[in-house]
A and B are shown apart, each in its own frame.
Chain A
Amino acid sequence: MRTVDLSQTSLRELNAALHRLRADTNETHWRVLNPRGQHAIAAGVDAPITVEIEGHVGYYCAGMNKEATVVLNGNAGQGVAENMMSGRVHVKGDASQAAGATGCGGLLVVDGNASARCGISMKGIDIVVKGSVGHLSAFMGQAGNLVVLGDAGEALGDSIYEARLFVRGNVESLGADCIEKPLEEHHKAELSKLLEAAGINGAIDPGSFRRYGSARKLYHFHVDNIGSY
């Protein structure tokens, strides 16, 4: 295991070292100490490694992540796992705004709460938040799953495309064109898989979630509106 102390080593040196790693690297386990709220820690990693970060981080931690597992033993600032392509990012504390924004793949797990705009413009990422999410979460979400064990703030799924939203607690309000949909057996099966992937094995009944998604009235061309063009 390689340990990098950010009070001794610069953030640029750390990220450059991580970016140099090839897919077949033997340096598969990294530990980062003293992150002290710095931005873009372990952003842009593209190798099947594990990076553990001990403490709170600033913006864009693990952004654009590909293949790697990034475990954060602390809170994340804005845009954690932003535009993640694949791999896994696990925030053991809370995440600030825009967690998992524009993510194309992979799994983001937040043990605490995620604040506003969690999963904004998500494009295939799976996000499991064990606490609650703030307002405008999954705004314009195109694909992927957002699973929230707690509550969701105002305007959940506003202007949503085809992202799927599962919330176990209270939803303060739904955004434009976001509606509740029936939770079918195959949704429950998929939810079970997501919960299992997030390390919640059998402790939570997939049937206790409600499902939300697009009414498909906003983003589809409607012939009745032809006069407006």
Chain B
Amino acid sequence: MCGIVGLFLKDRTAEPELGALLAGMLRTLCDRGPDSAGFAVYGAAAPGAIKLTIRGPRSFDYDAFVRHLQPGGPALPHVVRDTHLVLTVPLALEADVRAEIAVIPELTVVGSGRRMEIFKEVGRPDRVAERFGLDTMSGTHGIGHTRMATESAVTTDGAHPFTTGADQCLVHNGSLSNHNALRRDLIRAGLSFQTENDTEVAAGYMSWRMRKGDSLEQTLNSSLTALDGFYTFVVGTESGFGVLRDPIACKPAVMAETDRWVAFGTEYRALVDLPGIDTANVWEPVPAKAYLWELH
């Protein structure tokens, strides 16, 4: 099973509503994936800075940690959301801050980028979204996932989205059959992986292609030959999102578009509360065809 959703706003005035709309979509798909949930939101960028999303234990004192990073100086801009901390770090300080995080075993950097913030936890998707306050988040686009685990354990690390590059993330419905071989190839090419999960390999493959200079469209097209198995992917990048289904189209997918937004859902039910859905163009994405929407 698993459920995936994606929302891309064409109408920039709707940005403050992004989180609330995405939360509604995710909530509907609870019964497709009650094990864990996660989402990535592409919000505002700070000039000359990178946003690190850091995960720690519930009781962790993030405020003390942030004060400790700049003793005596002004604290780095940060937002604590449940178990996660989003820290905005000037690029010049990124290496130092990452080194500080690395020595605290309870903390993990789960994502980074100019705009991407990423949150995931074990639990019912509606409660996970509530804990992180997804309803209040603002942004241009976001993707989300509700997981029914098959290929690896129900852990926070195994929850989607997976990210292996700055501002890049991936949610997946399906299962890959060649992930072990491909993981070995990618490790030889210099990538590192945090889990045994199949989707992380797909995310790693795509990051690797884009690092080599491929566009998102080229990356999705080459994924069709590199990846074997069942998949519907929604991929987020700094400027947009893409959708790809395997050639057999094992997993369901539906899309809708108005002049204000483009949305993806595993089922149409996930889209029914979007404003203007009654007059939206609703269609099923064709298998083995890359769909892309980018900010202009």
**Interface of A with B (CB < 8 Å)?**
36-38, 55-59, 75, 77-78, 93-94, 96-97, 115-116, 134-135
Contacts and interface: CB of A to CB of B under 8 A. Distances in A.
Given A115-B249, A134-B249, A94 B284 contact: yes
B269 A38 contact: yes
B252 A78 contact: yes
Interface string B213-257: 000000000000000000000000000000000001100101000
B126 to A, nearest CB: 18
B65 interface: no
A56 B282 contact: yes
B271 interface: yes
Give the 4 A-B CB pairs with smallest separation, nearest first: A37-B268, A37-B269, A36-B272, A116-B249
B283 interface: yes
Contacts of B283: 94
Interface string B257-296: 0000000000111111000001000111011000000000
A75 B249 contact: no
Contacts of B252: 77-78, 96-97
Contact of A75 (B270, B282, B286): B282
A115 B252 CA distance: 11
8 contacts: A37-B270, A58-B267, A58-B268, A58-B269, A75-B268, A78-B252, A97-B252, A135-B249
Nearest to B285: A115
Given A94-B283, A96-B284, A56 B268 contact: yes
B284 A37 contact: no
A36 B28 CA distance: 11
Contact of A36 (B254, B269, B284, B287): B269
Nearest to A115: B284
Contacts of A78: 252
A94 B284 CA distance: 9
Contacts of A75: 268, 282
A33 to B, nearest CB: 12
Given A115-B284, A135-B287, A37 B249 contact: no
Contacts of B248: 116, 135
B287 A116 contact: yes
Contacts of A93: 282
Interface in B130-174: none
A126 B267 CA distance: 27
A57 B282 CA distance: 12
A226 to B, nearest CB: 34
